[in-house]
Amino acid sequence: MLKPLGWIALSLLLAEFATNGRSADDVGTSKSFHGPVGLVSPYSLRGLQQTQGLAAALDKTRSFGFRYVEFGSDFGGLKPAAFKAELDRRGLVPVGLHFSYEQIRDDVEGIAAAAKVMNVSLIGCAWIPHEDPFDEKQCRSAAAVFNRAGAALAEHGLQLYYHTHGYEFRPFGQGTIFDLLVAETSPTNLMFEMDAAWVVLPGQDPVELIKKYPDRWLLMHIKDLKKGVPHNHLVKAALTDQVPVGSGQVDWPKLLRAAQEAGVKYYLIEDESPSVIKQIPQSLRFLESVEW
């Protein structure tokens, strides 16, 4: 009989080859697309977390073969150190940590302390509180917050990034409000995380967006949008409109090639659909078949 620590070591070894014998660093990659690919977890598996607990969600993350994770500052209801211990126990490596806009605006020191515990250097913001439409005034105000917080975080060796959500792509001048946000911030203070589905939803071309700002994209959320879903700037799409990667509106070979050439550092699958457990393996198989 194996002792408890022996079972843990064996389970991690088996997880290394959980997807067609591939190591965790190769999961979701192909001869053309090199990743690395991780999962937004436990958020993508929040239904499992709600019914069976955090441990079940993290175990499932590892069983899919993932090593890298990105998550929010609620830490699954645990203190940062306890949450980090749960990740370490499963060989999961945190690569990005999201905080609320208010936390980023008001509590840089608290963020830096949590990031140190988690051994994370990339700090994200997923939403700018705003009144629709997200306009020039609100954008400039957010840019000032990001510049100030980004500079302060940089003193702690941390890089701030903002996750696109769709409302930033309303027309403005010769471009969009997103163009203004880029222009009003510096790469030192603010990088970006492209959510592919939330770029396509408002009618933008994610490939052209990467080519337009090749030095500003740090991470990517790999998420696909069902064909036929109408474009809008309000992030109006049902959770059931999120489909397995490769079956929706995103031209993944072109996008992944552009992202790889631009030096995107991490690719995180984010699946908010009710069919997430079924869809994640389908998405991984597609990514492992991508060629250009």
Cα radius of gyration rounded to whole Å, the chain: 19
- Of the candidates 222, 243, 207, which has an alpha carbon nearest to the alpha carbon of residue 288? 222
What tens digit of pLDDT does each residue of 127-138 get?
Answer: 999 999 999 999
Residue 78 has pLDDT above 80, yes or no: yes
Q: State the chain's mean pLDDT as an integer.
A: 93
Average pLDDT over residues 209-216: 98
Structure tokens, 21: 């014998």
- Asked if residue 95 lies in contact with residue 266, where contact means CB atoms within 8 angstroms, the answer is yes
Question: What gap in Å lies between CA 49 and CA 47, rounded to an integer?
Answer: 5
What percent of the chain stands above pLDDT 70? 92
The CATH code of the domain at 34-287 is 3.20.20.150
**Dihedral sign for Cα atoms in the order 198, 242, 27, 126:** positive
pLDDT of residue 29: 98
Higher local confidence (pLDDT), 20 or 282: 282
- Give the pLDDT mean for 166-184: 97
* pLDDT tier at 207, thresholds 50, 70, 90: very high
Residue 109: C-alpha distances to residues 75, 153, 203, 284 (Å): 17, 8, 38, 37
The whole-number pLDDT of residue 173 equals: 96
Mean pLDDT of 32-40: 98
Residue whose C-alpha is closest to residue 199's, from 245, 227, 168, 244: 168
pLDDT band at residue 235, thresholds of 50, 70 and 90?
A: confident
Q: What is the pTM of this model?
A: 0.92
pLDDT at 22: 60
Average pLDDT of the segment spanning 277-286: 98
Region of poorest pLDDT, from 56-65, 117-126, 220-229, 230-239: 230-239
Domain residue ranges of the chain, discontinuous segments joined by +: 34-287
- List, for residues 91-111, the tens digit of each pLDDT value: 999 999 999 999 999 999 999
Q: Residue 115 has which token pair?
A: 């990031």
Whether the upstream peptide bond of residue 36 has omega within 30° of 0, thus cis, is yes
Number of H helices, E strands in the chain: 12, 12
pLDDT of residue 234: 85
Confidence at residue 21, expressed as pLDDT on a 0 to 100 scale: 54
Q: Residues 63, 64, 65, 71: is their CA dihedral positive or negative?
A: negative
Lowest average pLDDT, out of 34-48, 53-67, 151-165, 225-239, goes to 225-239
Mean pLDDT of 142-155: 98
Q: What is the pLDDT of residues 41-76, one digit of tens each?
A: 999 999 999 999 999 999 999 999 999 999 999 999
At residue 25, the pLDDT reads: 78
The amino acid present at 166, given as its one-letter code, is G
